[in-house]
Amino acid sequence: MGRGKVTLKRIENKINRQVTFSKRRSGLLKKAHEISVLCDADVALIIFSTKGKLCEFSTDSNMERILERYERCSYSERELTDHGSHGSWTLEHAKLKSRMEGLQTTQRHIMGEDLDSLNLKELLNLEQKLDLGLKQIRLRRNQLMLESISVLEKKDKALKNENNVLLEKIKEIQKEIAPQAQAHIKQQDRRHNMSSHRLDTYISATYQAGDDGLVEENPRQAQPSIVLPPWLLQHINH
């Protein structure tokens, strides 16, 4: 004998109602997952319990993207039917206002404000999002630091290479200048020696010793002393 038709109505017993909700919720989530896999469909499922507890499922773990797609489709259809009417603009304004309020609420939650309205699950979900965001920020920061260090190392290597090239050029220039410098020093020494010899000659020619043993200055230029050979002296004497 077949099962009779069951009349759907609210379960009065709280315990039975909670047990039925848990079972039916698990089955509904399972069916949503199956149809998304088997039919390659985008599925978004939102369930609120009598206590306001949220349970959701989305195929790509991005509920907002599916809801935005739903809003675009539904509102585009409404705009086609009610094009030019005041009601469509009012609905669009309400939709944008609601979305803006939601974004503002999310921003306040991220800043650590107005957290009293969140339950434990929502707080844990918010904490996970913040941790993920911090990980991404740290990864990007470390990447930039490594790139900056790599650039500095390349610059340091390039400066060292330029320094080595300059040192080699200095050594080559010193090798080329060294013989010329030595020749110049020898020439200066030679000139200095010649000047000293001329000075000594001038002094010896200018000053002569007198009979009293004193040195007196000859006001005229000293006459060169003439030495005759012995054979000429003998001839003169004879």
* Residue 219: pLDDT band with limits 50, 70, 90: very low
Give Cα 89 to chain centroid, integer Å.
Answer: 48
Q: What is the pLDDT of residue 64?
A: 80
Alpha helices in the chain (DSSP H): 14-38, 63-81, 86-110, 120-206, 230-237
Give CA–CA dist 158/10, Å, rounded. 80
For the segment 47-73, the average pLDDT, to the nearest whole number, is: 81
The answer to whether 10 and 29 have CB atoms below 8 angstroms apart is: no
Q: Which residues of 25-34 are buried (b: 16+ CB within 10 A; e: fewer)?
A: eeeeeeebee
Q: What is the pLDDT of residue 132?
A: 87
Give CA–CA dist 153/140, Å, rounded. 20
> Cβ contacts of residue 115 below 8 Å, gap of 6+?
109, 123
Q: In this predicted model, what pLDDT tens digit does every residue of 82-141 receive, in sequence order? A: 555 555 677 777 788 888 887 888 888 788 887 777 788 888 888 888 888 889 899 999
Q: In this predicted model, what pLDDT tens digit does every residue of 129-148 receive, in sequence order? A: 888 888 989 999 999 999 99
Between 157 and 222, the more confident residue is: 157
Is pLDDT above 70 for 203?
A: no
Helix/strand/coil for 215: strand
* Residue 211: pLDDT band with limits 50, 70, 90: very low
What tokens were used for 222? Answer: 């000293």
Provide the residue ranges of all domains of the chain, joining segments of one domain with +.
11-61
Q: What is the pLDDT of residue 12?
A: 86
For the segment 76-87, the average pLDDT, to the nearest whole number, is: 57
Q: What is the pLDDT of residue 150?
A: 92
- CATH no. for 11-61: 3.40.1810.10
Which residues does residue 48 pair with via DSSP β-bridges, in sequence order?
54
Q: Residue 216 is inside which H or E element, if any?
A: strand 215-217
Give CA–CA dist 106/110, Å, rounded. 6
